[in-house]
Structure 1
């Protein structure tokens, strides 16, 4: 015996209720959205888990921001932050009037920032692609472990290692002298200081930075590679049409985040080698703030330079994120759809 077919309404005003309407409607009328307090109570366990992290951010990151008021004062430690005299924008004159030492530090910072964006930032991407092409997982893990190790060394150890290798009496010059060749010093050579900094950063941090890109490569579906291979694409065309588009979102996100700290080009690394090179080639904004503020006692001016640097970093991040949205990428946060 056949069961009767379900009856469908023939009324002209009948329509299918969507899933979204079913959630927001009820027999008694549309359901109201929960208030902020109701959401807070609903997610109280998650909020409790995040409280320690929020306290750390508030105490060590947001509360110290109040100290930027020193940029508008003639700060004297014995008077305190609020007891020091107001001077308005006097501390910003070093920026607006173009003090020669500040201009030199700014130019060195911009040059190093550009070199790091062109040479240092792509290095972990290239390394991740090379590691991902290895067929043996055991070999890949061994190489990864070796490449990760320099990241855990402090800059004091890294600089000491480079001095032992490339210094005037280092391993390289000892080898050259023993073979009757002329020795030359890389450490302390102002012309080679920037390439030296870049090589140190690449050696120390490139291996560690590949973790994110390797994770992004693991999310690319193998079906895409199989489809590309069926269409006759070789390794290079697969990388161009499958791998690189799969990495594009992560690359843009990390590049935008790096822009926020683009004017901080390695304070500890440069300060440890500054005496051997001199301020002309090695002074950057971070060391300028340290030398003029902490060492020289000009706290207000140093805070003003640091404040401007932070504002520029935030503006670069927001501008780059907006540009990413214009090209259809999510960036560091997505905008609400209209």
Structure 2
């Protein structure tokens, strides 16, 4: 029997979000209803509200979440009622050409729930990243549920569902950072600071944080940056990084902003044969113009990082274990805990750069 619960929706482009009643159907084949316990406020949710993803309004926002499986549909065998799970937006299919080549982190045909959640008048909702977790409960595919250690703070665990995993994975999975490497991260918001935490976790000996905001640079130091550069106080960021690395540049440069000018900085502030990782998301109008010879002469690797190239069933439990052991300070990303009706205010805090993450706690 369907249920009526609260949910936060974006009804039209740029309009303030609304807390309304929504309808959750009983789970069908392969589907799961999850009672949401916490959900981070991610910039992607704001992008949905602004129409930057698509125009399939109304959107049920929220996707960076953890909770408890309440009920399951026919054929569900990955989780059971009572399991504590982190939700993910890349449930791999196991059948596409990427999966068959042993690269499921690049799955080209990820799963979502088949049924639609709706408004009480029957209007179908589009769940953000196939999840829609600014709600008391949500309907997802079983592959979007990753079991992790019960008893973990849901506000912390849920952050692995998007931004923190994106940053950690950009450093560890995509960038392949290890203890022999020097690293620079441009943009020290939630994703950039997660990349810094990831570089520290694997023992990178030099970690340079670059931003224009002093508070963000302070957060970066707390999460493992060995050096910080305030871009407003130097003539040239590339030269400043080279001065910290014997004149050579870093082995791995991570652009967590996603603009042509920051990508160029990342390209030129790395050492010869170094790696550039783009994890910040550009907008469709952005263009890049550079001498082709520079690509050839600098060598190395130029990579984009999708969701930190993670495999949730592999990565989430390990990272939660590291957090519980005190080796990965995920709790530092939780700037504030808010109620479901405070999402719009959380967007404003995000705009001001006042938080790493606001987390809705239900």
User: Normalised by the shorter chain, which TM-score bucket?
Assistant: under 0.3
TM-score (norm 1): 0.25
Normalized per residue, the structure richer in helix is: 1
TM-score (norm 2): 0.24
Larger radius of gyration: 1
Larger relative contact order, structure 1 or 2 (CA cutoff 8 Å, min sep 6) = 1
